[in-house]
Amino acid sequence: MTPLSISVSGIRGVFPRPLSPALARRFAHAYGVLLAPKVAFLATDTRSSGLCLARASVEGLARAGVPVRNLGIAPTPSVQFAVEHTEGAGGVIITASHNPLPCNGLKFLSRCGSFLDREELARLVRIADTTRGKALRQARRLPPADPAMVRAHLDAVVAAVDADAIRRRRFSVVVDPVQGTGAVWTRLFLKTLGCRVRMVNDRPLGRFSRNPEPLAVNLGALCRTVRACGADIGFAQDPDADRLACVSEKGEPAGEEFTLVLAAERALAYEATPVVVNLSTSALIETVARRRRVPVYRTPVGEAHVAKKMRETGSRFGGEGNGGVMWSRVHTGRDSFVAMALILDLLATDRMPLSSMLARYPQYVMLKEKVEMTRQQADAAVARARERYRGSPHDCSDGLRVVLPEGWIHIRPSGTEPVVRIIVEGVSRQAARRLLDEALSACLLGRA
C-alpha cells in the first residue's frame, strides 16, 4: 500500500486506502480540537473522491463542535482568503494539489489563513493518534455550497490591479486548468478583466487529461492552442489553483520560475516591499529586487515558512519558484489568480509581448535531481556537503544552500519521500551541469 504523506502541506494519500473517510473524519476532528475555530470553511477540488471526504470532514468537525461553511468546488487561495478575512475562522481543503489520481488529501489552515507550521502539525497528529480506532461519526449533512467568499476573493484580486488597463487591451488568453477548480472559476475571472478566453483540458471535471503539475513538459496542448489561435498568453494551473505557469504568445513555456519573477515586477512597482522566497527559488528574483532596491529573504521550502517570514519582516510580496505567488494586498497565500492578474497588468503596462519580456532576463539554467536514500543517509549526505562547502556563503535552515561564483546549490532531505533533493542553478547549462555533478559528488562520497 502506498504510505500516507503527512507534511506542512497537509495529509495526502491514495483514496480510499490509506486515505479513507474514517481517517479524514479523525484528522478533521483533531483539527477542530486543535484550533477550535468559530467556523471552518470547507472546500474541495474536482476529484470525485472529494465529496465523500468532505462529508467525513464535516462529521469530524461537528464532533469537535465546529460549524462548517461549505464553499463547494473552490480554489485553495479562495479558502485562504476567506479565513484571513473572517475573524476566528479556520479552513479545511480537500485536495491533493498537483498529485495525480487516485490521490487526494486534506490541507489545514491556521487562523491567519496560512498552512499549519511544523509545531501545529505535530500537535494535530498527536491529537489524531489519541482517537485512533474510536467512533467519531456525528450525524451531520454537508451544508449546501455557498461560493460567495470565492466571488469576494476574485473581486479582491481584480480590485488590487489596474483592471481598466487590462480591459483596454482585450487580451486573448488560453487557459489549461487541468479539469481542476480553475475549470469552474478561471473563465469567469478573466472575463471580468475583459479577456477573450479559450479553455483546454477543462472538461470533464476531475479527470486530469495531463500530469496535473504545471511543468513545461506537461503543457503541450496549451502551447499548441496558443499558437493556433494567436493568443497573447497561455496560463496553466494545478488542480487547486494555487500555482501558475505561463506560455508566451509564441507557444513556448516560460518555465514556472518566471511566474514569480513577472508577478514581482508588477507588484513591486505598486509598492517597494521586501521579498520573501524559499531557498530553492531562482536567483532571478534578486535581479528584480535589486532594481527596486528591496531586500530578499529566503526561507525553508514550504508556503507556511514563506508566509511566516513575510509577517515577521513586514513583506507584502513573496512566493515560491514552483509558480506560487503571494501578495498580501489580497491575502498571504499562493494564488494563481493573483499571478494572472499581476502578469496581465504587467503586459498592459509595458506593452510588449511576453517573449520579449522574458528575453530581458539572464538566461539561468536550473537542474533538479533526487537520489533515493534513507533519512539517516540523507542527513549524512547533507553533513558531508556542509563540510565541503563550509568556506562559501551558505544557509543551513533547510539542508544546505550554498552560493558559488557560477550559481548556487540546494541540497535537502525530502519531507515526504525517502530521497535527498538536489537543486542547482547556473549562469549557463554547462555551469549548471558542473554544479549538479559537484553536488552529487559531495552527497555520495563515502556513502555507506
Catalytic residues, by residue number, are 97
Find the DSSP H helices in 103-162.
118-130, 148-160
Nearest to 316 by CA among 350, 270, 258, 251: 270
Sign of CA dihedral 441, 303, 350, 177: positive
Give the residue carrying C-alpha cell 473563465. Answer: 187
DSSP string, 66-84: --EEEEEE--HHHHHHHHH
Strands 10-14 and 5-7: antiparallel
* Contacts of residue 30, Cβ cutoff 8 Å, sequence gap at least 6: 60, 64, 124, 125, 127, 128, 131
Torsion of CA 224, 228, 234, 235, to 10 degrees: -60
**Shortest CA distance to 43 belongs to which of 290, 240, 257?**
240
* Helix, strand counts (H, E) of the chain: 15, 19
Distance in angstroms (rounded) separating the CA atoms of residues 172 and 194: 9
Supply 80's cell numbers.
485562504
Q: Which residues of 298-311 are buried (b: 16+ CB within 10 A; e: fewer)?
A: bbbbbbbbbbbbbe
Q: CA-to-CA distance for 219 and 4, rounded, in angstroms?
A: 29
Strands 419-426 and 365-372: antiparallel
Distances in Å between the alpha carbon of 104 and those of 18, 19, 93, 229?
Answer: 10, 7, 10, 35
Q: What is the DSSP letter of 236?
A: E
Pick from 86, 361, 97, 351: which is nearest to 208 by CA?
97
Q: In this structure, are residues 282 and 366 in contact, taking their beta carbons and an 8 Å threshold? A: yes
Q: Do the beta carbons of residue 387 and residue 442 sit within 8 Å? A: no
Residue 369 identity (one-letter amino acid): E
Task: Give burial (CB, 10 Å; 0-12/13-18/19+) of 349.
Answer: middle
